A = this chain, B = another copy of it.
Amino acid sequence: MANRPHVVIVGAGFGGLAAARALADAPIDVTVIDRRNHHLFQPLLYQVATAGLSPADIAGSIRSILRDQKNTRVLLDEVCRIDRLQRIVHTRNGRPLQYDWLIIATGAQHSYFGKDEWAPHAPGIKTIDDATAVRRRVLIALERAETELDKSTRDALLTFVVIGGGPTGVEMAGAIAELARQSVSKDFRHITPHCSKVWLLQKGNRLLPSFPEKLSADARRALEHLGVSVRLGGNVEQVTSSGVSVSGEFIPTHTVVWAAGVMASPAAHWLTCKPDRSGRVEVDSMLKAKGSHDIFVIGDTARCIDATGREIPGVAPAAKQQGRYAAQAILAQLHGQTVEPFRYRDYGQMATIGRARAVCSIGGVKLSGHTAWLVWCLAHVWYLNGLRNRISVTISWIWNYLTFERGARLITGELESGGR
């Protein structure tokens, strides 16, 4: 490590990876720590959960991605403590790491708003293992429904509830509807498209609350067209192994997917600062943890009000911009220059609904339907890491578009955890 300044980046999601890349040619040593060996393209994770893509299609080894960056090393490890005074990161398995600058980009996990007992019945999807677990549940529910004689049990097996009407919930509900109502019905002898029921429960009064209202309405219409029952304004009161209670009504179901809330990773705890309600670390307009000049917190782990006074949303483009900004700020500091406060450039948002529909809001232009879906496909393939994954995802989508088939309908892992 010699005498070059050392930047430690914790987390190789969108933010951490963008920061590492922006430091590629700098006279700096960079260490990237992640507790997984792969960078995950989370926006497509719901397609792994619904058997459309394989995990390897949307993930790449962090080492491979940063292979040619000679100033960077990658550690598979987990942070357990940060000593701000001594500038040391303590990890679970390795030696303590002395840093000159620290970038924390450890993302978020699901949050059940204090109802952690719901977790086993309503898994969320944040990791590959989460996604294959949801895939297992959905596929096993269909298998069991095929042979179940008791009508009420069968109906519950064929009922799928998605909680949360943001982009993940909308995409998940659309994909489950397609899987359960179209893709697989030819394969079963007793399940017909109309047997299955998919619910999307949203607490607020519209889906995709961060999108323009017109697109919320379009998304709802598209979902209903796919056979999803959208329920707005309901309050989820209970989730058990036999169903979901929403505003006094009980929906019997064996398969619930959680897309309702996230809680930041425990960075606030490491930094011994007070987190906000979502567990995030408050950062200043330079993305630095309050009271610190060498610690950046970015992405879903940070609560950030940018120069325009707007709270930065927890989306991939924001995390990437923050990662690049943190890297540039370090380089500027190194050269004794000053930096402008972070300014988030919002290029828009998009969400897809099933096989050939989407809604996009890009720089004031609102699109929905097929055109929006094409834009969505192109954007997602473009931003995927690596040519191989782009080819693989493109082929899967073309195949799925032409045949309605899902190529990755595998039940793996313990059958028991799928409810059998």
Q: Which residues of A contact B (CB under 8 A)?
A: 35-38, 54-57, 59-61, 63-64, 67, 73-77, 93-94, 128-129, 132, 139-140, 143-144, 146-147, 184, 186-189, 388-389, 391-392, 395, 399, 405, 407-413, 415, 420
Contact = CB atoms under 8 A, between A and B. Distances in A.
Contacts of A399: 388
B189 A412 contact: no
A36 B187 CA distance: 15
Contacts of A146: 75
Contacts of A395: 391-392, 395
B129 A187 contact: no
Nearest to A139: B37
Chain A interface, >50% SS class: mixed
B38 A410 contact: yes
Nearest to A408: B56
B147 A64 contact: no
Contact of A392 (B75, B139, B392): B392
A143 B37 contact: yes
B55 A57 contact: no
A29 to B, nearest CB: 11
Contacts of A64: 187, 405, 409
Nearest to A186: B67
Contacts of A420: 93
Contacts of A412: 55, 128-129, 132
B129 A67 contact: no
A75 B147 contact: yes
Given A63-B184, A392-B395, A412-B128, A94 B147 contact: yes
A37 B67 contact: no
A412 B129 CA distance: 6
Contact of A409 (B37, B143, B187, B189): B37
A60 to B, nearest CB: 8
Contacts of A61: 187, 409-410
A410 B63 contact: no
B37 A410 contact: yes
A241 to B, nearest CB: 17
Given A189-B73, A405-B388, A410 B67 contact: no
8 closest Cβ pairs, A-B complex: A63-B187, A56-B408, A54-B54, A76-B143, A61-B409, A54-B56, A37-B411, A67-B187
A36 B395 CA distance: 26
Contact of A54 (B55, B77, B415): B55
A216 to B, nearest CB: 34
B188 A63 contact: yes
Contacts of A36: 411
A187 B64 CA distance: 6
25 contacts: A36-B411, A37-B139, A38-B409, A54-B54, A54-B55, A54-B57, A61-B409, A61-B410, A63-B188, A64-B187, A74-B187, A75-B146, A76-B140, A76-B143, A76-B411, A93-B144, A93-B420, A128-B412, A129-B412, A129-B413, A132-B412, A388-B407, A389-B407, A392-B392, A392-B395
